[in-house]
Amino acid sequence: MTKKLLVFTLFMINFRLFGLGYYPTIGAHAAGLGGSGLLIQNAFCASNNPSLMPWQKNASLGFAYNNQFLLSDVNQSHLSFVLPFKHFGYGLKCSSFGNNILKDQLIGASVAHEFHPDFSFGAGINYHFFSIRNYGSNQTTTFDFSLAANINSKLKSSFMVFNPFARKFRDIQDERMTRTFRFGIKYSINDKVFIVSEIEKNHIYKTNLKTGINYDYNKQFSFRCGISTLQPNMSFGIGFKKKNIQIETAHTYQLNLGLSNQLSFIYHFASKN
């Protein structure tokens, strides 16, 4: 009974977060950096930051699976695809959280344009569908906009806003989706080490500061760790690359609720140089 109550409570916490349009950073690479994914360039930037898509070297497909607090019913799965083409980038994404009792699903598309070698602008549209058994369902549409800049060879920055128009649920007059602002920087210390830091703010929660450090041991293995302040947690992760395959794992320890694990796979449709 206690476990069922805990699972239901976590469902409602996550539904409050996800259902209002707040989506955590996708992918184990970003999760291992304390959730600082705004400037992590991979298949999941279709969700995390579409403005990075034109700078991808090749098309890529990513799948991420997140288990929260070691509970079998509190999981999120995500599929993302990015296609760079000349000075543009195109992305598709879909996400699912919950089970047959509570379900939160998203599908979306995004496009970005590199209007200068050091500047890119992205925009996305997202369709949200929510349902709770015995309570019904609801749906709405949101938008996101992002801008990325290469300040110099070592420093990059980006800004993203989710749901700037404060969209509401279709059948609930006063319940709005969350408007979220994110700003991040990435500093490359050398060819092996970079630091990322991100500030996130919405109208529900206090400012969240996320930061992490990544170390590429060699061309195949990388290691990372990070922290986040909103719901204080520490994270670490490991990455592995082999030809067109990229595998990432991350583990996050939340001080009050315990351990969460995330695993992601990325397939690159052409070998990187």
DSSP state of 213: E
List, for residues 118-133, the tens digit of each pLDDT value: 999 999 999 988 888 7
> Residue 135 CB: number of other CB atoms within 10 A?
9
Q: What three-state secondary structure class fits 13?
A: helix
Q: The tokens of 227 are what?
A: 């922290």
Smallest CA-to-CA distance from 234 within 29, 25, 39, 32 is with: 32
What pTM did the predictor assign? 0.87
* Confidence band for 249, pLDDT divided at 50, 70 and 90: very high
Smallest CA-to-CA distance from 160 within 38, 45, 24 is with: 38
Q: Which of 67-71, 77-81, 105-109, 210-214 has the lowest mean pLDDT?
A: 67-71
Q: What three-state secondary structure class fits 273?
A: coil
Taking residues 226-236, report their average pLDDT: 91
- The neighbouring-strand residues paired with 120 are 148
DSSP state of 190: S
Domains of the chain: 2-268 (2.40.160.60)
